[in-house]
A and B are shown apart, each in its own frame.
Chain A
Amino acid sequence: MAFVIGIFFSIGTYLILTKSLLRIILGTSIIGHGALLLLLTMGGLKQGGAPLLGAEAAPYADPLPQALILTAIVINFGTTAFFLVLAYRAYQEFKSDDMKKLRGPEHE
């Protein structure tokens, strides 16, 4: 898992450092998945029963990381959706998704 997370983070970082806005958004999304996988791994990939009352098992799996990830996925989804709309709006306005052209002239 550690390798998968590492690969996700490196791909995400590479994409964020590129010029194209769309790739940057993909990069944030991929880093997001890496972070979520990390959360899952850090919670411990245990063997255990479902943490439900009545599910008879000696060790129960820890439900907390999954609850956290569910929350984080929703948030991640929301921000990515907003970012995509923002990028589309910027593309309409500037006719480009090149970050260099987006910087604009107003640097005193």
Chain B
Amino acid sequence: MNNIVILPIVIPFLTGALLVLFPKYVMIQRLLSVLSFLAVMGTAVHLLQQVGGEGIQILNLGGWEAPFGIVLVADTFSLLLVITSCIVALGCLIYSFQSIEWERERFYYYAFIQFLITGVNGSFLTGDIFNLFVFFEVMLLASYVLLSLGGLKKQLRAGIMYVLINIVSSMLFIVAVAYLYAVTGTLNMAHLSVRVAEAGQPDLLTAIALLFLVIFAVKSALLFFYWLPESYSAPPTAISALFAGLLTKVGVYAIFRMFTLIFYHEPGITHSVIAWMAGLTMILGSIGAVAYGNIQKVLAYNIVIAIGFIVIGIAVFQEAALTGAIYYLIHDMVVKTLLFLLGGAMVGLVGTYQLKEMSGMIRNHPYLGWMFFIASFALVGVPPLSGFFGKLLVLQGTLETQFYVLGVIGLLSSLAVLYSTMKIFMNGFWGENQLSKEDEKTSTHGLLLPCTLLICVSLFLGIGVEWVNPYVAAAASDLMNPAVYIEAVLGPA
């Protein structure tokens, strides 16, 4: 029992509730939002150290013992993701101080960012599958509002599609939970793991596992990513960057958790389906990223490629690959947000999304250009930047387990990532400078600070592998040994 475990959920929730009360005082709102994220990050780091010393920390809510009540579980994997999501959210928050119009700021923008983070952190920390559904809904409802806040035509159009697809997949989530409860009689993840292991995962449970896979694949844009490019390019930059960094990654987290903790007995069926989905996602995402000439679309398809790549780690189901996948997941959350923010700054300067209509920006904005360059190299995985280590481990894993095709697709998709980001860089920054200082639509004043913050984190992840790796390796080894998780939640068997 450790009461601190609930703080990463409660702090943003209470802050959000407080912020709803006085929407007009923008400065106080900004200050409180930043403080709340810093506090969450502090508690998460503290918890991470406790987990390192004393093992997985749990909290039985309301004092109900584990299989009966709802339990919050903080292990290394979830805490790493909580910390990363705070960094990402902080970056987007500081970016939005300058870039979000005051109309949005006064209509509960900051409050809904807090609620979004409540949902995200809750999904990472919960140890109960229905509670996971609830936190997913908290997160999604906040994201519906953020997506359509402002009511532009583009946003409404994308919003309707996004809301519809998520409502349908949430309904399927309820259906899957109902089936699972009927078969196993429990919803606590650790208890589920025990029950499924006792039953040896018969075909019925495998079918339920595949239903869960479909649901989380829709949420994480794995293979079913039709909704993603449209809806992520509709809202203002800060919001779409936040979505890019966090929302799909929560779905990926759920896939990781479900298929390492509960449904790991039939890898021949479930994990090979995941492998197929990962491969197809990378191929289709690459095609999209190469084909479009619109910055936001290109970046959105890059999210899709990364999702496919991360999921390889779970498809090959081997400790080294899983370590790599977690590393890449953390790196991708940071760098993808960074790229969206930088892309948004470029779009803000030129006033158009089309690559053809921009060129030569490096003359007036060298700093922006080089940051974009470094970020895209980090994304591709050029050593010593942050993507390299994760990619190396994942590819090593595919070779050791003879998933050669998946490894090759992963490598080729890196080329597509390189091509598509360099396309943006060359079109945007090279060539004749057509844009004089006076013609610029907005300034980059105040936008570069959060980008610098995120790029420092990315560099730290790349150069500081030695410091970060023990935590990531511990997270992966916990995932590979469900017994550790079960013992922490249910007590020694």
Residues from chain A with Cβ under 8 Å of B273 in the complex = none
B460 CB to closest chain A CB (Å) equals 38
Which residues of A from 71 to 108 have beta carbons under 8 Å from B?
A: 71-72, 75, 78-79, 82-83, 86-87, 89-90, 93-94, 102-104, 106, 108
In whole angstroms, how far apart are the Cα atoms of A98 and B154 in the complex? 16
Q: Check if A82 sits within 8 Å of B177, measured CB to CB.
A: no
A28 nearest in chain B by CB position: B167
Residues of B within 8 A of A94 (CB): 153, 156
Residues of A within 8 A of B130 (CB): 68, 71
**A90 and B163 contact, CB distance less than 8 A:** no
Residue among A35, A44, A65, A93 making CB contact with B171, cutoff 8 Å: A35
Residues of B within 8 A of A79 (CB): 137, 140-141, 144, 163, 167, 170
Contact status B153-A28, CB under 8 Å: no
Q: By the criterion CB–CB under 8 Å, are A16 and B175 in contact?
A: no
State whether B171 touches A42 (Cβ < 8 A).
Answer: no
Docked Cα-Cα span, A38 to B171, in Å, equals 11
Interface presence of B151 (CB below 8 A):
yes
* A85, chain B: closest CB distance, angstroms: 9
Residue pair B178, A35 in contact (C-beta under 8 Å) = yes
Give bound CA distance, A65 to B181, whole Å.
9
Question: Mask for B397-418, Cβ within 8 A of A = 1, else 0?
Answer: 0000000000000000000000
Q: How many A-B residue pairs have CB under 8 A?
A: 94
Partner of A83, one of B167, B171, B172, B187: B167
Residue ID in chain A nearest B140 by CB atoms: A79
Assess the B181–A43 pair: CB atoms within 8 A: yes
- A interface majority secondary structure: helix
Q: Which of B153, B168, B172, B178 contacts A104 (CB 8 A)?
A: B153
Does B157 count as interface, using CB distance less than 8 angstroms? yes
Task: From A43, A83, A90, give the contact of B182 (CB < 8 A).
Answer: A43
Is A39 among interface residues, defined by CB-CB distance under 8 A?
yes
Sort chain A's interface into a size bin: 35 or more
What's the minimum C-beta distance from B396 to chain A, rounded to whole angstroms?
39
- Nearest to A91 among chain B residues (CB) is B156
Cα distance A94–B153 when bound, in Å? 8
Q: Is the Cβ of A35 less than 8 Å from the Cβ of B175? A: yes
Contact between B144 and A21, CB atoms less than 8 A apart = no
A27 to B86, CA, bound (A): 37
CB neighbours (8 Å) of B493 from chain A are none
Question: A68 to B177, Cβ gap below 8 A?
Answer: yes
**B residues near A87, Cβ cutoff 8 Å:** 160
Are A82 and B163 in touch, CB under 8 angstroms? yes
Cα distance A78–B292 in the bound complex, in angstroms? 36
CB < 8 Å neighbour of A42 from B156, B179, B294? B179
Q: Could you tell me the distance in whole angstroms from the C-beta of B292 to the nearest C-beta in chain A?
A: 7
Q: Tell me the bound Cα distance from A72 to B187 in angstroms.
A: 15
Taking a contact as CB atoms closer than 8 A, the residue among A64, A83, A104, A106 that contacts B163 in the complex is: A83
Interface size class of B (residues with CB under 8 A): 20 to 34
A24 and B164 contact, Cβ closer than 8 Å, known pairs A90-B157, A93-B151: yes
How far in angstroms is the closest Cβ of chain B from A80?
8
Distance in Å from the Cβ of B132 to the closest Cβ of chain A? 12
CA distance A54 to B165 in the complex (A): 45
- Is B18 an interface residue when CB atoms closer than 8 A count as contact? no
Q: Cβ of A39: which chain B residues have Cβ within 8 Å of it? A: 174, 177-178, 181
Q: Interface digits, A25-53 against B, CB 8 Å rule (1 contact, 0 not)?
A: 00010011011101101111000000000
Partner of A102, one of B157, B174, B175, B292: B157
Q: With contacts A28-B167, A79-B163, A82-B141 known, is A42 near B181, CB below 8 A? A: yes
Once A82-B145, A82-B163, A103-B157 are accepted as A-B contacts, the answer to whether A32 and B171 lie under 8 Å apart by CB is: yes
Please determine whether B168 and A82 come into contact, CB atoms closer than 8 angstroms: no
Report the separation of the CA atoms of residues A104 and B152 in the bound assembly, to the nearest whole angstrom: 13
> Is A36's CB under 8 angstroms from B174's CB?
yes
Residues of A close to B84: CB separation below 8 A? none
Would you call B153 and A93 a contact (CB within 8 A)?
yes
Contact B160 A86 (CB under 8 A): yes
Q: Residue of A at shortest CB range from B152?
A: A93
Q: Which positions in B face A, CB cutoff 8 Å?
A: 130, 133-134, 137, 140-141, 144-145, 148, 151, 153-154, 156-157, 159-160, 163-164, 167-168, 170-172, 174-175, 177-179, 181-182, 187, 292-294
30 A-B contacts (beta carbon < 8 Å): A16-B164, A16-B168, A21-B160, A24-B164, A28-B168, A31-B171, A35-B174, A35-B178, A36-B174, A38-B178, A42-B179, A43-B178, A43-B181, A68-B177, A68-B181, A71-B130, A72-B174, A79-B137, A79-B141, A79-B144, A79-B167, A82-B144, A83-B163, A83-B167, A93-B151, A93-B153, A94-B153, A103-B157, A104-B154, A108-B293
- Please give the residue numbers on chain A whose beta carbons come within 8 Å of chain B beta carbons, in ascending order: 16, 21, 24, 28, 31-32, 34-36, 38-39, 41-44, 64-65, 68, 71-72, 75, 78-79, 82-83, 86-87, 89-90, 93-94, 102-104, 106, 108
Sample of 13 more A-B contacts, CB < 8 Å, known A68-B130, A83-B167:
A16-B164, A28-B171, A35-B178, A36-B174, A38-B174, A39-B178, A42-B179, A72-B133, A79-B141, A82-B145, A87-B160, A89-B148, A90-B159
